[in-house]
Structure 1
Amino acid sequence: MTAIVPVAVVALLGAGDPATAGSPGATGAGDAYFPLAGNGGYHVTHYDLTLSYDPKSRHLDATAVLTARATQRLTRFDLDLKGLKVTGVALGHVQVAHRRDGQELVVTPRTALRKGHKFRVKVDYSGTPGPVTDPDGSPDGWIPTDDGAFVAAEPQGAMTWFPANNHPADKSSYDFTITVPKGRTAIANGLFRGAHTAHGRTTYCWHQPEPMAAYLATATVGRFQVEQYTTRDGVKIYNAVDPREAAKAAPVLKKLPSVLEWESQLFGPYPYRAAGSVVDHAPDVGYALETQSRPVYDSAPDIATLVHESAHQWFGDSVSLTRWKNVWLNEGFATYAEWLYAEQHGGLSAQKAFDALYARPASDDLWKFPPGDPGSGKHIFDAPVYNRGAMVLHELRKAVGDRAFFRILRAWASAHRYGHGTTAQFTVLAERKSGKNLQGLFRTWLFTKGKPNKAYRPFRSA
């Protein structure tokens, strides 16, 4: 997807009649877990991000051009941006009023934007980006490292390095132009478009054509060993590995094509034209992230982690959330992919993985909340979302049988490809594909507090 050609500002603006003046876009996407995440009143179709970063001073100079469509008549709209200085905002070619309000960049057009019209907003900004601290205490966003930056933005961190409609309900294509000192590499999402060096600095160009949520974008910078090749299925692989992690990472990354092929057989065709890995040396981060088409790892991953983050390319990246409370659709599915991979590659069966978890006492943290609603943003990455989320899928598999179960997974990935899905939609799909009433199963395993007493056995629908 390519950004649209600019159009005349006058064609985008309303007549200014007070009777049809419109209203401001909402300051959030309506997600109770992160009330200020995302914004209302518009949909971003494309981001064009131009970044220049100096790892030594940790200074960023940047310009973001967002191509968007108004979903209501807009007198004002917000972008999510935290901690950086904005030096100018233009709508089309016209400078417009803007102000900061916490993590919100409030933009006021000279005249209301009409519903349905496309517009471009350009934001010039600079500063020293840093991470945001999530409710669970972990850092996310632009995380400086000793040779660059580890950029992993789930769930809030996109706003630490570019102005965004920062909620997974809004997905867009992206272009990245990233300039760093010669000797550093800058890796983003999607297809590598090339690099050129001049005056001691190297500029890297990337293009992510398929829709992507803002939290899945990356612009990781560092000293990396780069490997590029094309799989037999035509997927462009780009691996970037910190030399300090290279020896340990190599045997795992070698399995990436076979992992993607295996997952494609289970879940349907791989969703993207590009794939790969960014293996950084970032000991203070403590996690990996499924950044779209190219997961980032804070150190050399093991095979289970590679399988997990790769599975997210289907579940979480291609099929995205509409609300963070449904995050089990991401993490439960990716965790169950680990169980399936072990089962089919000489490890524990999924049933044994399930049994080991179910053996934990009722007082264990695994049972502290149901995976279908963690209760707040503080808990969306806790054990019940991952492990009990996977247990939901295993109970579903036992209830409907392998043939129907894998048909359900493929149908879910296919029906919602490049879009969004909800828990309610998944339960309806599972019942339709299996021909069974599964309400009790999902009520017990997804939404009931505490440790379930026993597995629910569904009955066939009339």
Structure 2
Amino acid sequence: MPFLSRRLRAALLATASAALVAATTLPAPVPLGIGDPLFPHLGNPGYDVLAYDIGLTYNGHNDEPLSAVTTIDMKTTEPLERINLDFTRGTVRSVAVNGLRADFEVADEDLIVRPAGRVPAGVPLRVTVRHTSDPSGERDSGGWVRTADGLAMANQADAAHRVFPGNDHPADKAYFTFRVTAPSELTVVANGLPTGRSRHGDSTTWTYRTEHPMATELAQVSIGRSAVVRRTGPHGLPVRDVVPAADRDRLEPWLKKTPDQLAWMEQQVGRYPFENYGVLIADTETGFELETQTLSLFEKRLFTDARYPEWYVDSVLVHELAHQWFGDSVSPRTWSDLWLNEGHASWYEARYAEDHAGKPLEERMRSAYTWSDTWRAAGGPPARPAAPAPGEKISLFRPVVYDGSALVLYALRQEIGQDAFGTLERLWVRGNRDSNAATADFVRLASRVAGRDLTAFFDGWLYGAKTPPMPGHPDWHSTAPAVERGQR
């Protein structure tokens, strides 16, 4: 041990004593949030996540916990005594901050880390959490989804922290690296591009990285007996579809449509915003499809159940594809901005059905208008949706945020004209690429494109309890029968 002067020893003792006093006087750890109107405890203040490195080890049994190491690179935005991370449904084994072991506690669905001392604002931190990731929870609660031969993820809206610790709110997008080890007879695919694969004994480690920032709710890892079907999209875009190996030929008629669907969407709003695209078809039942970034998740039964007509399946494929622009590249600032995601995806879904299957957009919008007051009474207006029912987070995704919000876009096109509307759509996705945007940003841009203030127009359509008159269609009427109120 080096020699210490009396003055230096006294200074160190004083610092240690002050730190001890500070530690003993800190208030009890509590779960925090960034104050989202619909999910107040989601996300955490005080830091900005720059990147995640998620290591997972899968033993071949999809009802047993995976061993995991999640490394989070972040930068503090304010002084922090503790670092709150969203995490639940896993056992934390250890935590380190910048390589030094750190104490931690759990409060509700927060993992609360105590660094060695108070961290000033503007400091880069690397937080490493060794934990388990448990896929054995309730099927409809989100996070891991068990498939017939492995696992996939369905993290929307607030379930990524049931898989890995992080800042689980779309307002904090980051780059992701996935390192997944699994038995060598299985195939692993994740968001982004493959960057390595190495075999060691009976296991193989697969590595993927995203080239664009991503919200936690859009993370995707597929593990199973899968075939990866590759083809080329517009401008040489890599397209890779992931399907159960036994169903590859049966699903090919649907898979081969993707390049043309990509080209159609590019005609509407501009170039595809990411490094690759594809569909992940999983043999599971979730009750929904999901726009996980660069690799949209679909249930196999959508393509194998003869009750679903071809035009309908095509429109669902385009719905999730449209989300890559609206929701993934341009992500909501709060969950109350969800209408910007689902309204646009529903809009292009309906437009595609009109262009390719002769399903008139105007008929669909008139039907939506008829139901609009009912939907608003049940779930709130498009940009001020009611909170999801307790224990039913998926109930946030109501008709008012789908066709009820596409109806807002139809009314806007009626109000400002088709050319201005098309310009607005392209400017929106280009100007907000790889970032977050709010309803107020959309209103501001629409007003600029239209050359007049549209605030009053949007106030009624986005926040009104009753649906405003439809421009150009004074004969349209909306009703809210009393028996329908309260339905979800």
Match of 1:228 in 2: 230
What is the CA deviation profile of residues 49-98 of structure 1, one whole-angstrom value per residue up to 9, with x for unaligned ones?
11001232523001011100000111111111102111110111110111
Q: Could you tell which deviates more after superposition, 71-80 or 373-382? A: 373-382
Q: Compute the displacement of 1:456 (Å).
A: 4.6
Distance in 1, Cα, partners of 2:250 & 2:162: 31
Larger proportion of strand: 1
Q: Does 1:309 pair with 2:320? A: yes
Distance in 2, Cα, partners of 1:253 & 1:376: 36
Q: Does 1:455 pair with 2:470? A: yes
Listed as ranges, the matches of 1:374-385 within 5 Å are: 374-378=385-389, 379-385=395-401
Contact 2:133-2:162 at 8 Å conserved across structures: no
Distance in 2, Cα, partners of 1:127 & 1:315: 30
Q: Compute the displacement of 1:156 (Å).
A: 1.2
Q: Any unmatched runs of 5+ in structure 1?
A: 1-14, 458-462
Q: Does 1:37 pair with 2:42? A: yes
Match of 2:306 in 1: none
Contact 1:365-1:383 at 8 Å conserved across structures: no
Contact 1:366-1:388 at 8 Å conserved across structures: no
Listed as ranges, the matches of 1:31-430 within 5 Å are: 31-56=36-61, 58-126=64-132, 128-131=134-137, 138-243=140-245, 245-283=247-285, 285-299=286-300, 300=302, 302-360=313-371, 363=374, 368-378=379-389, 379-430=395-446
What is the CA deviation profile of residues 230-264 of structure 1, one whole-angstrom value per residue up to 9, with x for unaligned ones?
33413222211014554553222211111112212
Match of 1:12 in 2: none
What is the CA deviation profile of residues 370-414 of structure 1, one whole-angstrom value per residue up to 9, with x for unaligned ones?
111111134420111101100000111111111100100111101
Q: Secondary structure at the match of 1:75?
A: coil
Distance in 2, Cα, partners of 1:409 & 1:71: 33
Q: Does 1:440 pair with 2:456? A: yes
Counterpart amino acid of 1:29? Answer: I
Q: Secondary structure at the match of 2:380?
A: coil
Distance in 1, Cα, partners of 2:446 & 2:59: 50
Identity of aligned residues (%): 33
Q: 1:69 to 1:25 in 2, by over 3 A?
A: farther
Q: Any unmatched runs of 5+ in structure 2?
A: 1-14, 304-312, 390-394, 473-488
Q: Secondary structure at the match of 2:82?
A: strand
Counterpart amino acid of 1:165? Answer: N
Distance in 1, Cα, partners of 2:325 & 2:375: 30
Contact 1:49-1:62 at 8 Å conserved across structures: yes
Contact 1:366-1:387 at 8 Å conserved across structures: no
Distance in 1, Cα, partners of 2:447 & 2:288: 35
Contact 1:132-1:157 at 8 Å conserved across structures: no
What is the CA deviation profile of residues 264-322 of structure 1, one whole-angstrom value per residue up to 9, with x for unaligned ones?
22112211111111101102x11111001111112245211110111111100011111
Q: Secondary structure at the match of 1:275?
A: coil
Match of 1:11 in 2: none
Q: Secondary structure at the match of 2:125?
A: strand
Q: Compute the displacement of 1:362 (Å).
A: 5.1
Counterpart amino acid of 2:438? Answer: T
Distance in 1, Cα, partners of 2:323 & 2:107: 34
Distance in 2, Cα, partners of 1:395 & 1:36: 35
Contact 1:130-1:141 at 8 Å conserved across structures: no
Q: Could you tell which deviates more after superposition, 355-364 or 86-95? A: 355-364
Q: Secondary structure at the match of 1:258?
A: helix
Q: 1:183 to 1:366 in 2, by over 3 A?
A: farther
Q: Compute the displacement of 1:363 (Å).
A: 4.5
Q: Could you tell which deviates more after superposition, 185-194 or 325-334? A: 185-194
Q: Could you tell which deviates more after superposition, 172-181 or 195-204? A: 195-204
Distance in 2, Cα, partners of 1:408 & 1:314: 14
Contact 2:375-2:399 at 8 Å conserved across structures: no
Q: 1:111 to 1:375 in 2, by over 3 A?
A: same
Larger proportion of helix: 2
Q: 1:252 to 1:436 in 2, by over 3 A?
A: farther
Q: 1:448 to 1:167 in 2, by over 3 A?
A: same
Distance in 2, Cα, partners of 1:409 & 1:25: 42
Q: Using structure 1 for the length normalisation, give the TM-score.
A: 0.89
Distance in 1, Cα, partners of 2:212 & 2:94: 29
Q: Secondary structure at the match of 2:43?
A: coil
* Aligned residue pairs, count: 438
Contact 1:26-1:41 at 8 Å conserved across structures: no
Q: Compute the displacement of 1:367 (Å).
A: 6.4
Q: Compute the displacement of 1:101 (Å).
A: 1.3
Distance in 2, Cα, partners of 1:449 & 1:261: 38
Distance in 1, Cα, partners of 2:48 & 2:379: 37
Contact 1:150-1:282 at 8 Å conserved across structures: no
Distance in 2, Cα, partners of 1:74 & 1:432: 40
Q: Compute the displacement of 1:131 (Å).
A: 4.7
Distance in 2, Cα, partners of 1:140 & 1:28: 20
CA RMSD across the alignment: 2.5
Q: Compute the displacement of 1:218 (Å).
A: 1.2
